Structure 1
């Protein structure tokens, strides 16, 4: 199985285990660092927040740090001030190469029969922790299990993890990455120390784009950061997949509502629904949802930001001004349901895109009296 089939890898960009820096999450990092240095290291940490803000990167930083230093005294002697471990360190290299014997990573496995990643983390994956924590740890004595993302465990897997957390192994560290912690069993959450990571600032996202050698002007980086809404991972996806141009194409269709450019919609659908365009399709759905979300916020009185595409602010004001916003919220929810159902039934993605624009046209017509 190649790297591109890892559930926690973003396109061709470096995997979080290969990244030596963490941008914009200094407060969360300080909490883990202080706990370790003060001899109060909790056995399980739940790292929460939106996708793409650095949760997995923080998990790997914490794992490398405890494996590298073992005890606070060693970290103090090394004059450590944060969780960083230099890339030349053997621990860093082993973790990056997935060869460190004291690290176990649990995520959605590859399904050889279906030739794709499984949709959940099955109980068999979590049960691997029993043997892992039963082995003798190497130098430093720590063994670290990273679960990314914990939200993807099925019920049996959650129950298996709960049993381990109820009787945590000595010198064992669990790092749970969670985008939606409310989906986890309350008993799992209660046995973890929760760290809520914050969405990144536009400045932090711009730093990440530069660090990943994204070719974009300063103006384009600002626009990408705004579309990413605090997620560096999403910003990289948008930049890598031509998402900024895609957004402008989508917005040009939306600002004309309730008049629908049928030819333009079909051209968009043909482009993002073709074989091999999975990333473009996913980005299109996300951008459509985001546009609707901003329309609802605008209609509720939120201040308008500068347009990312010509006329979008005026269109949002016009479409969100007449009457309540219930119908827009309703269509927003219907789009999410329609996309999920289509994926489950393997529906033609072009039909999904066409159906979304048809729903938007209908509601826009109601709102402006067309």
Structure 2
């Protein structure tokens, strides 16, 4: 039986899309893959890797791909004899099937645990989860010789968990591999970072994201895929979330409200709030908040002279320029920060989401009005 089989939901899975351990292809991260492949084939494979970069760009997929490769070949001589040129393993290979079914004995996944009492994931990756590595690496490895631990994401460890991991990293057992997935490596202890080989993955191109949408059977027209890829900002995970939650329609509704500022269509606002605040609409809520936050950040960058992206909603770039035209971009930065704090506090206190979105647009309306007044008085 796998070292990490459990009956609970998986905190590192996006909606109904395939879990990274079942995805045997890797799109857009060939340089990162080559670095691991070369290290293995040279016989100088580090015992710990730290995969960094924004969320959703393929870090976990790369970790599972590397795990399959190590468990299939075991030694560089075997991979060389098989004329391997990358880390691909066929879907029907026994190792791939075992990993996909969560039944390979030589692999351990460390992630936020499920709280059976509260029926939700814990907010941090606890020390008890990390301590599982001690028993795991104390076992004899099965076929393939390697024992592999994937920590996704390492950023979620509390300090006790980090210290427990550090003890294992300081005295690694032979033929082991740690793959740490990190979106914010600066949050990790410097001593953990120093014991890993860091591999920074780059945001994906829009073409790569479009290919990933096709690979995941996302039903969208070519122009819709391009729009989703543009909004995804280099993250395939985000692109899938946008596609899965009706993000393009949400974006259109949000931007239509923003374009009209300082006027506010109250009826349209309530319609949007009802849609994303209703019970069971968590994905739509999170997608909408991210899209709104990103639009405001792009508006601020536009005011600072950054290049614009093509309009996805007619008139949005003109609206960005108009709203950012007057002096004091710091005021927009201030309101963006306040919105971020408002959302975080609301999530922590389980505040009514409709009230949150109404308050957010009230803030935006107020700032747009004060800037309009300043512009008229100039």
TM-score scaled by structure 2?
Answer: 0.96
Report the 3-state secondary structure (helix = DSSP H, G, I; strand = E; otherwise coil) of the residue aligned with 2:151.
Answer: strand
Deviations 1:119-165 (A, max 9, x none): 11110000000000000001221100000000011111011001111
The answer to whether 1:285 aligns with 2:289 is: yes
Deviation at 1:261, TM superposition (A): 1.1
Counterparts of 1:141 and 1:20, CA distance in 2? 21
Matched, 1:262 2:233: no
SS at match of 2:149: strand
Residue in structure 2 matching 1:156, options 148, 155, 160: 160
The more displaced of 299-308 and 61-70 is 299-308
Q: Write the distance in 2 (CA, Å) between the matches of 1:359 and 1:50.
A: 29
Distance 1:327 1:168 in 2: 51
Write the distance in 2 (CA, Å) between the matches of 1:166 and 1:369: 61
Map of 2:299 onto structure 1: 295
> What is the rounded CA distance, in whole Å, between the counterparts of 2:214 and 2:33 in structure 1?
22
**Does the 8 Å CA contact 1:252/1:310 hold for their aligned counterparts?**
no
Q: 1:184 aligns with which of 188, 203, 223?
A: 188
- CA shift, 1:324, in A, is 2.4
- Alignment-derived partner of residue 73 in structure 1: 77
**1:39 aligned partner:** 43
1:82 corresponds in structure 2 to 86
Q: Cα gap change, 1:2/1:320 in structure 2, threshold over 3 Å: closer, same or farther?
A: farther
The residue that corresponds to 1:9 in the other structure is 13
- Which whole-Å deviations, capped at 9, do the CAs of 1:29-74 have from their partners, x for residues lacking one? 0000000000110000000011110000000000011111001000
Structure 2 unaligned residues grouped into runs of 5+: 1-5
- The answer to whether structure 1 residue 275 and structure 2 residue 275 are counterparts is no
How many matched pairs? 369
After superposition, where does 1:1-370 map in structure 2 within 5 Å?
A: 5-369=9-373
Deviation at 1:2, TM superposition (A): 6.5
Contact 1:259/1:361 (<8 A) preserved: yes
| TM-score between the two structures when normalised by the length of structure 1 | 0.98
Contact 1:331–1:359 (CA<8 Å) still a contact in 2? yes
Residues of 1 paired with 2:325 and 2:260: CA distance? 16
Structure 2 Cα separation of the partners of residues 360 and 24 of structure 1: 37
Whole-angstrom CA distance in 1 between matches of 2:111 and 2:294: 28
Greater than 3 Å deviation, 4+ residue runs: none
Distance 1:188 1:336 in 2: 30
Shift of 1:355: 1.2
For residues 3-27 of structure 1, give each alpha carbon's deviation from its aligned partner in whole angstroms, at most 9, with x where no partner exists: 7x31111111111000010000000
Cα distance in 1 between the residues matched to 2:212 and 2:126: 33
| Distance in 2 of aligned mates of 1:181 and 1:258 | 40
Deviation at 1:263, TM superposition (A): 1.5
SS of equivalent to 1:321: coil
- Preserved contact between residue 53 and residue 230 of structure 1 (Cα < 8 Å): yes
Q: Take 1:212 and 1:115, find their aligned partners in 2: how far apart are those partners?
A: 29
Q: Which moved more, 1:330-339 or 1:191-200?
A: 330-339
Q: Distance in 2 between matches of 1:271 and 1:254?
A: 17
What's the CA shift for 1:265? 1.1
SS at match of 1:194: strand
State the Cα distance separating 1:335 from its structure 2 match: 1.2
3-state SS in 2 of match to 1:221: helix
Q: Gapped runs of 5+ residues in structure 1?
A: none
Structure-1 separation of matches of 2:132 and 2:325: 55
Secondary structure of the residue aligned to 1:120 is coil
